[in-house]
Amino acid sequence: MHIRPASGVDLAAIRRIVAAAYTKYTARIGKPPGPMLDDYAARVRAHQVWVIELGGTVAGLVVLLPEADHLLLDNIAVDPSWHGKGLGRALMDFAEAEARRRGYAEMRLYTHATMTENRALYPHLGWTETGRGRQDGYDRVFFRKNV
C-alpha cells in the first residue's frame, strides 16, 4: 500500500470513490453529503488530496485542509470494494503524521449527525466529540484529536 499526493490523472478515481463511499447516505440525509459536492480538481491543484494505492489501483483518499491552529481532516473515503483491508486506518495514520510533520498539535474533523457509523468509529480512534451544530446546511458532529 502506498500513499501519495493526488494528481490530475487521479480525478476520475477520486470522484468514483467518493460517489461509491457516500451515495448510500443521500437518502438518510435527504440530499447529497458534502463530500459529493466538493471540487476535487481544485483540491488536487491546491495539494490538499492524497490517494492510497494498492497494486497500482487508487483505492482511497484523504483531504487535508490547513487551518491556523489545526489540520482539518475534511474527507476520508475508501472504495467499498477495498473495505476491511486497513486502508482507512492507514489514511488516518497518514493524516496524523502529516499534521505532526506540519507542526500542528491538533486535528479536527466533522461528520453528518446521521452517519452513525462514523460517530461510533472516531472515539475508538482517539477522537473526542466537541459539539454539534448546523453548518453549510448540514447537521454536523465535530471532533478533535491531539497529535
Residues whose CB falls within 8 Å of the CB of residue 118, separated by 6 or more in sequence, listed in order? 111, 112
Query: Which residues in the chain show pLDDT less than 50?
Result: none
**Region at 43 (left for phi over 0; alpha for psi -120 to 50; beta for the rest):** alpha
DSSP 118-134: HHHHHHHTT-EEEEEEE
pTM, 2 dp: 0.94
Amino acid occupying residue 68: A
Phi first, then psi: what are they for 67, rounded to 5°? -120, 170
User: What would you report as the CA-atom Rg of the chain, rounded to the nearest whole angstrom?
Assistant: 14
Domain ranges of the chain: 2-105
Model pLDDT, residue 64 = 98
CATH 3.90.220.20 fits 2-105, yes or no: no
Residue 3 · residue 91 · CB < 8 Å: yes
CA 20 from chain center: how many Å?
A: 14
Give the model confidence (pLDDT) of 104-137 as tens digits: 999 999 999 999 888 999 999 999 999 999 999 9
How is residue 49 written as a grid cell? 488530496
Model pLDDT, residue 147 = 95
